[in-house]
Amino acid sequence: MKKLSSGRLPQPRIELPAGVEVFPYSQQKLNIWEFQKEQLRKNIAQDNANFYTYAKDYLSLAFPRVNEYEIAQNAKLENEAGWKTKAGFDILNKKENYNEHPKRPPQSIIDDLTTMPYHI
């Protein structure tokens, strides 16, 4: 039977810290693959001399040095912070009387209409 290793001992790609809970399925937020990508990003961020790609022979398919999902989430939270309070939605145009018609004329015009009848 042929030996699978090429002579050198396999090195672990990533070390899981004790107490970190990871899951094998991709639909879960804390899956092992995303955890490994985050660890690789930390290692790549320290190494500016090399360019990391998924392709063996080409410089295409570069490994992302930033987490695009995290950047999108932070932008969404930053956007929501402008119009949403911690308690929930904040209505800027708060009405005192919700039973009032939105196109109701001012009270001065209503008084003029009641004092001077136009139907005569």
Q: What is the pLDDT of residue 87?
A: 75
What phi and psi values does residue 29 have, to the nearest 5 degrees?
-70, -40
For residue 83, what are the contacts with CB-CB under 8 A and spacing of at least 6? 90
* Residue 114: count of CB within 10 angstroms of its CB: 8
- For residue 56, is pLDDT > 90? no
- 3-state SS record for 50-97: CCCECCCCCCCCECCCCCHHHHHHHHHHHHHHHHEECCEECCCCCCCC
- For residue 54, is pLDDT > 50? yes
pTM across the whole model: 0.51
Q: What is the pLDDT of residue 118?
A: 67
Q: What is the pLDDT of residue 117?
A: 67
Q: What is the pLDDT of residue 1?
A: 45
How would DSSP label each residue in 27-52?
TSTTBHHHHHHHHHHHHHHH--S---
Q: What is the pLDDT of residue 75?
A: 96
**Which comes out higher in pLDDT, residue 11 or 43?**
43
Nearest-5° angle of CA 33, CA 37, CA 73?
95
